[in-house]
Amino acid sequence: MLLIKNKSHYLMLAPFFILFFLFFLYPIGYGFYTSFLKWDGITEPAFIGLRNYQIVLQGKSTLKAYSNLLTYVFITVPLCILTAFILALVVQHIGKRAGNVLKSIYFLPAVIPTYLAASIWRWILASDIGLLNSLLSKLGFSQINFLTDPKVMIFSLIIVDVWCSAGFNMLILLAGLNDIPDQYYDAAKVDGANKFQEIIHITIPQLFPSLFFVITYGFISALQVFEVPWILTSSSYMEYGGIKNGLLFPVMDMLGKGFGSLKFGQSAAYGIVLTIMILIFTAAQFILRRKLKK
Protein backbone atom coordinates (compact mmCIF):
# COMPACT_ATOMS: atom_id res chain seq x y z
CA MET A 1 0.00 0.00 0.00
CA LEU A 2 2.83 2.37 0.92
CA LEU A 3 4.61 1.54 -2.34
CA ILE A 4 1.50 2.41 -4.37
CA LYS A 5 0.94 5.60 -2.40
CA ASN A 6 4.48 6.87 -3.04
CA LYS A 7 4.74 5.50 -6.57
CA SER A 8 5.65 8.87 -8.10
CA HIS A 9 8.50 9.32 -5.62
CA TYR A 10 9.93 5.90 -6.42
CA LEU A 11 9.65 6.59 -10.14
CA MET A 12 11.72 9.77 -9.71
CA LEU A 13 14.38 7.79 -7.85
CA ALA A 14 14.34 4.92 -10.35
CA PRO A 15 16.78 6.42 -12.92
CA PHE A 16 19.46 6.80 -10.26
CA PHE A 17 19.08 3.24 -8.98
CA ILE A 18 19.00 1.79 -12.50
CA LEU A 19 22.22 3.59 -13.44
CA PHE A 20 23.78 2.71 -10.07
CA PHE A 21 23.04 -0.97 -10.68
CA LEU A 22 24.18 -0.98 -14.33
CA PHE A 23 27.41 1.00 -13.92
CA PHE A 24 28.44 0.18 -10.34
CA LEU A 25 26.91 -2.91 -8.75
CA TYR A 26 26.79 -5.05 -11.89
CA PRO A 27 30.45 -4.43 -12.93
CA ILE A 28 31.61 -5.24 -9.38
CA GLY A 29 29.55 -8.43 -9.29
CA TYR A 30 30.67 -9.49 -12.76
CA GLY A 31 34.29 -8.75 -11.91
CA PHE A 32 34.02 -10.89 -8.78
CA TYR A 33 32.51 -13.70 -10.87
CA THR A 34 35.25 -13.35 -13.52
CA SER A 35 37.96 -13.67 -10.85
CA PHE A 36 37.07 -17.38 -10.56
CA LEU A 37 37.42 -18.01 -14.30
CA LYS A 38 40.24 -18.70 -16.74
CA TRP A 39 39.27 -16.42 -19.61
CA ASP A 40 41.16 -14.69 -22.40
CA GLY A 41 38.18 -12.74 -23.70
CA ILE A 42 37.96 -14.95 -26.81
CA THR A 43 37.49 -18.59 -25.88
CA GLU A 44 34.87 -20.03 -23.58
CA PRO A 45 35.67 -19.21 -19.91
CA ALA A 46 36.50 -22.10 -17.58
CA PHE A 47 35.87 -22.14 -13.83
CA ILE A 48 39.14 -22.63 -11.87
CA GLY A 49 38.10 -21.59 -8.35
CA LEU A 50 40.68 -19.68 -6.32
CA ARG A 51 43.54 -20.42 -8.72
CA ASN A 52 43.63 -16.83 -10.01
CA TYR A 53 43.97 -15.49 -6.48
CA GLN A 54 46.78 -17.94 -5.77
CA ILE A 55 48.65 -16.89 -8.92
CA VAL A 56 48.17 -13.19 -8.19
CA LEU A 57 49.19 -13.38 -4.53
CA GLN A 58 52.29 -15.48 -5.27
CA GLY A 59 53.42 -13.58 -8.37
CA LYS A 60 56.72 -11.69 -8.31
CA SER A 61 55.18 -8.72 -10.09
CA THR A 62 52.47 -8.54 -7.42
CA LEU A 63 55.02 -8.43 -4.62
CA LYS A 64 56.99 -5.72 -6.41
CA ALA A 65 53.84 -3.71 -7.17
CA TYR A 66 52.63 -3.76 -3.58
CA SER A 67 56.12 -3.07 -2.24
CA ASN A 68 56.28 0.04 -4.44
CA LEU A 69 52.72 0.96 -3.43
CA LEU A 70 53.35 0.80 0.32
CA THR A 71 56.57 2.83 -0.01
CA TYR A 72 54.76 5.39 -2.14
CA VAL A 73 51.67 5.63 0.08
CA PHE A 74 53.46 6.01 3.40
CA ILE A 75 55.72 8.75 2.05
CA THR A 76 53.51 10.70 -0.31
CA VAL A 77 50.37 10.95 1.87
CA PRO A 78 52.05 12.47 4.97
CA LEU A 79 54.31 14.66 2.82
CA CYS A 80 51.40 15.92 0.72
CA ILE A 81 49.26 16.72 3.76
CA LEU A 82 52.15 18.44 5.57
CA THR A 83 52.84 20.54 2.45
CA ALA A 84 49.16 21.43 2.10
CA PHE A 85 48.94 22.35 5.78
CA ILE A 86 51.95 24.69 5.55
CA LEU A 87 50.56 26.30 2.38
CA ALA A 88 47.17 26.80 4.04
CA LEU A 89 48.82 28.50 7.04
CA VAL A 90 50.82 30.76 4.72
CA VAL A 91 47.73 31.77 2.71
CA GLN A 92 45.72 32.43 5.87
CA HIS A 93 48.33 34.62 7.55
CA ILE A 94 49.17 36.96 4.67
CA GLY A 95 47.03 39.71 3.19
CA LYS A 96 43.76 38.87 1.48
CA ARG A 97 44.88 40.01 -1.99
CA ALA A 98 48.23 38.20 -1.83
CA GLY A 99 46.48 35.19 -0.29
CA ASN A 100 44.05 34.95 -3.21
CA VAL A 101 46.94 35.10 -5.69
CA LEU A 102 48.89 32.37 -3.87
CA LYS A 103 45.74 30.27 -3.49
CA SER A 104 45.19 30.38 -7.26
CA ILE A 105 48.84 29.50 -7.95
CA TYR A 106 48.86 26.59 -5.50
CA PHE A 107 45.54 25.23 -6.79
CA LEU A 108 46.49 25.45 -10.47
CA PRO A 109 48.12 21.96 -10.62
CA ALA A 110 44.87 20.44 -9.32
CA VAL A 111 42.88 21.69 -12.33
CA ILE A 112 45.46 20.64 -14.92
CA PRO A 113 44.52 17.25 -16.46
CA THR A 114 46.61 14.49 -14.93
CA TYR A 115 47.98 13.26 -18.26
CA LEU A 116 49.13 16.81 -19.10
CA ALA A 117 50.78 17.31 -15.70
CA ALA A 118 52.56 13.94 -16.01
CA SER A 119 53.72 14.76 -19.56
CA ILE A 120 55.14 18.10 -18.38
CA TRP A 121 57.02 16.42 -15.54
CA ARG A 122 58.30 13.67 -17.85
CA TRP A 123 59.98 16.43 -19.87
CA ILE A 124 61.25 18.19 -16.73
CA LEU A 125 62.73 14.96 -15.31
CA ALA A 126 64.11 13.52 -18.59
CA SER A 127 67.72 12.34 -18.37
CA ASP A 128 69.27 14.14 -21.35
CA ILE A 129 67.15 17.13 -22.32
CA GLY A 130 65.14 17.50 -19.12
CA LEU A 131 64.85 20.96 -17.60
CA LEU A 132 65.97 19.82 -14.15
CA ASN A 133 69.03 17.93 -15.38
CA SER A 134 69.99 20.85 -17.64
CA LEU A 135 69.88 23.10 -14.56
CA LEU A 136 71.96 20.64 -12.55
CA SER A 137 74.56 20.49 -15.32
CA LYS A 138 74.86 24.29 -15.40
CA LEU A 139 75.38 24.30 -11.63
CA GLY A 140 78.16 21.73 -11.96
CA PHE A 141 76.29 18.70 -10.65
CA SER A 142 76.09 15.32 -12.38
CA GLN A 143 72.85 14.30 -14.03
CA ILE A 144 70.30 12.20 -12.14
CA ASN A 145 68.31 9.50 -13.92
CA PHE A 146 65.01 10.46 -12.36
CA LEU A 147 62.92 8.17 -14.56
CA THR A 148 65.34 5.33 -15.30
CA ASP A 149 67.13 4.68 -12.00
CA PRO A 150 64.99 2.27 -9.89
CA LYS A 151 66.41 3.77 -6.68
CA VAL A 152 65.24 7.27 -7.65
CA MET A 153 62.11 6.67 -9.75
CA ILE A 154 59.62 6.34 -6.90
CA PHE A 155 60.86 9.57 -5.28
CA SER A 156 60.43 11.34 -8.61
CA LEU A 157 56.83 10.13 -8.65
CA ILE A 158 56.32 11.42 -5.10
CA ILE A 159 57.53 14.88 -6.14
CA VAL A 160 55.04 14.94 -9.02
CA ASP A 161 52.19 13.68 -6.84
CA VAL A 162 52.79 16.28 -4.12
CA TRP A 163 52.89 19.01 -6.77
CA CYS A 164 49.59 17.79 -8.24
CA SER A 165 47.70 17.14 -4.98
CA ALA A 166 48.87 19.73 -2.45
CA GLY A 167 46.71 22.54 -3.88
CA PHE A 168 43.44 20.62 -3.55
CA ASN A 169 44.25 19.56 0.02
CA MET A 170 45.30 23.12 0.82
CA LEU A 171 41.83 24.44 -0.08
CA ILE A 172 40.13 21.86 2.15
CA LEU A 173 42.42 22.67 5.08
CA LEU A 174 42.13 26.41 4.47
CA ALA A 175 38.35 26.15 4.73
CA GLY A 176 38.80 24.35 8.04
CA LEU A 177 41.25 26.97 9.29
CA ASN A 178 38.82 29.78 8.51
CA ASP A 179 36.12 28.06 10.58
CA ILE A 180 38.21 28.07 13.77
CA PRO A 181 36.87 30.82 16.08
CA ASP A 182 39.32 33.69 16.70
CA GLN A 183 38.59 33.72 20.45
CA TYR A 184 40.58 30.53 20.86
CA TYR A 185 43.69 32.27 19.58
CA ASP A 186 42.92 35.40 21.62
CA ALA A 187 42.72 33.32 24.78
CA ALA A 188 45.98 31.57 23.89
CA LYS A 189 47.75 34.91 23.44
CA VAL A 190 46.51 36.07 26.83
CA ASP A 191 48.02 32.89 28.32
CA GLY A 192 51.33 33.68 26.61
CA ALA A 193 51.26 30.89 23.98
CA ASN A 194 53.54 31.24 20.96
CA LYS A 195 52.61 30.42 17.34
CA PHE A 196 53.91 26.87 17.53
CA GLN A 197 51.88 26.17 20.68
CA GLU A 198 48.79 27.65 19.03
CA ILE A 199 49.20 25.30 16.06
CA ILE A 200 49.72 22.23 18.26
CA HIS A 201 47.03 22.88 20.87
CA ILE A 202 44.39 24.81 18.90
CA THR A 203 44.80 24.59 15.12
CA ILE A 204 45.40 20.86 14.70
CA PRO A 205 42.69 19.66 17.17
CA GLN A 206 40.12 22.07 15.71
CA LEU A 207 41.14 21.10 12.18
CA PHE A 208 40.77 17.37 12.83
CA PRO A 209 37.59 16.83 10.68
CA SER A 210 39.26 18.46 7.64
CA LEU A 211 42.51 16.59 8.32
CA PHE A 212 40.64 13.30 8.56
CA PHE A 213 38.99 13.95 5.19
CA VAL A 214 42.24 14.77 3.35
CA ILE A 215 44.05 11.84 5.00
CA THR A 216 41.30 9.36 4.04
CA TYR A 217 40.97 10.77 0.54
CA GLY A 218 44.74 10.82 0.17
CA PHE A 219 45.10 7.16 1.12
CA ILE A 220 42.29 6.03 -1.19
CA SER A 221 43.73 8.03 -4.12
CA ALA A 222 47.31 6.90 -3.48
CA LEU A 223 46.32 3.22 -3.33
CA GLN A 224 44.84 3.56 -6.83
CA VAL A 225 47.84 5.40 -8.34
CA PHE A 226 48.04 4.74 -12.07
CA GLU A 227 48.08 7.61 -14.56
CA VAL A 228 51.20 9.49 -13.46
CA PRO A 229 53.61 6.50 -13.25
CA TRP A 230 52.11 5.08 -16.44
CA ILE A 231 52.92 8.26 -18.36
CA LEU A 232 56.27 8.93 -16.67
CA THR A 233 57.49 5.49 -17.78
CA SER A 234 55.88 5.67 -21.27
CA SER A 235 54.09 2.41 -20.48
CA SER A 236 51.89 0.28 -22.69
CA TYR A 237 49.79 -2.80 -21.96
CA MET A 238 52.71 -4.99 -22.99
CA GLU A 239 55.52 -3.09 -21.24
CA TYR A 240 54.85 -1.11 -18.10
CA GLY A 241 56.42 -0.19 -14.78
CA GLY A 242 59.69 1.23 -16.10
CA ILE A 243 63.24 -0.08 -15.61
CA LYS A 244 63.26 -3.09 -13.27
CA ASN A 245 59.63 -2.32 -12.43
CA GLY A 246 60.74 0.73 -10.48
CA LEU A 247 57.32 2.34 -10.96
CA LEU A 248 55.15 -0.76 -11.09
CA PHE A 249 51.88 -0.43 -9.17
CA PRO A 250 48.86 -2.74 -8.72
CA VAL A 251 46.47 -0.94 -11.09
CA MET A 252 49.12 -0.96 -13.83
CA ASP A 253 49.81 -4.67 -13.31
CA MET A 254 46.09 -5.40 -13.25
CA LEU A 255 45.55 -3.72 -16.62
CA GLY A 256 48.67 -5.35 -18.05
CA LYS A 257 47.45 -8.82 -17.10
CA GLY A 258 44.03 -8.11 -18.56
CA PHE A 259 44.61 -6.20 -21.78
CA GLY A 260 48.27 -7.11 -22.33
CA SER A 261 48.36 -10.83 -21.47
CA LEU A 262 44.60 -11.43 -21.97
CA LYS A 263 44.34 -13.01 -18.53
CA PHE A 264 41.10 -11.38 -17.51
CA GLY A 265 40.45 -13.77 -14.64
CA GLN A 266 43.77 -12.88 -13.01
CA SER A 267 43.13 -9.21 -13.70
CA ALA A 268 39.75 -9.41 -11.97
CA ALA A 269 41.28 -11.23 -9.00
CA TYR A 270 43.93 -8.52 -8.82
CA GLY A 271 41.20 -5.89 -8.69
CA ILE A 272 39.31 -7.69 -5.91
CA VAL A 273 42.49 -7.95 -3.81
CA LEU A 274 43.19 -4.24 -4.29
CA THR A 275 39.58 -3.36 -3.41
CA ILE A 276 39.82 -5.36 -0.18
CA MET A 277 43.09 -3.60 0.66
CA ILE A 278 41.49 -0.18 0.13
CA LEU A 279 38.50 -1.15 2.30
CA ILE A 280 40.83 -2.33 5.08
CA PHE A 281 42.83 0.91 5.02
CA THR A 282 39.64 3.02 5.01
CA ALA A 283 38.00 1.02 7.81
CA ALA A 284 41.18 1.26 9.90
CA GLN A 285 41.15 5.04 9.58
CA PHE A 286 37.52 5.28 10.70
CA ILE A 287 38.18 2.97 13.66
CA LEU A 288 41.22 5.05 14.63
CA ARG A 289 39.14 8.22 14.36
CA ARG A 290 36.52 6.84 16.74
CA LYS A 291 39.18 5.90 19.28
CA LEU A 292 40.81 9.34 19.06
CA LYS A 293 37.45 11.07 19.64
CA LYS A 294 36.84 9.15 22.88
CB 121 within 8 A of CB 232: yes
Per-residue model confidence as pLDDT tens for the chain (294 residues):
555 666 777 788 888 989 999 998 999 999 999 999 999 988 899 999 999 999 999 988 999 999 999 999 999 999 999 999 999 998 888 877 888 888 888 888 888 888 899 999 999 998 878 888 888 888 888 888 999 999 999 999 999 999 999 999 999 999 999 888 888 888 888 888 888 888 888 898 899 889 999 999 999 999 999 999 999 998 898 899 999 999 999 999 999 999 998 999 999 999 999 999 999 988 988 888 887 766
Own/partner contacts of 122-125, CB < 8 Å, gap of 24 or more, are 122/147, 122/231, 122/232, 122/234, 125/156, 125/232
Measure the CA–CA gap between 237 and 258, rounded to whole angstroms: 9
Considering Cα of 59, then 65, then 70, then 73, what sign does the dihedral take? negative
Q: Which of 1.20.1250.20, 3.30.70.2700, 3.30.70.360, 1.10.3720.10 is the CATH number of 85-247?
A: 1.10.3720.10
Return the ∠ at Cα 76 (arms to 74 and 79), rounded to 5°: 105
Could you state, in order of their start, the residue ranges of all structural domains in the chain? 85-247
HSE value, Cβ hemisphere, 13 Å, CA-based, for 158: 21
CB 223 within 8 A of CB 274: yes
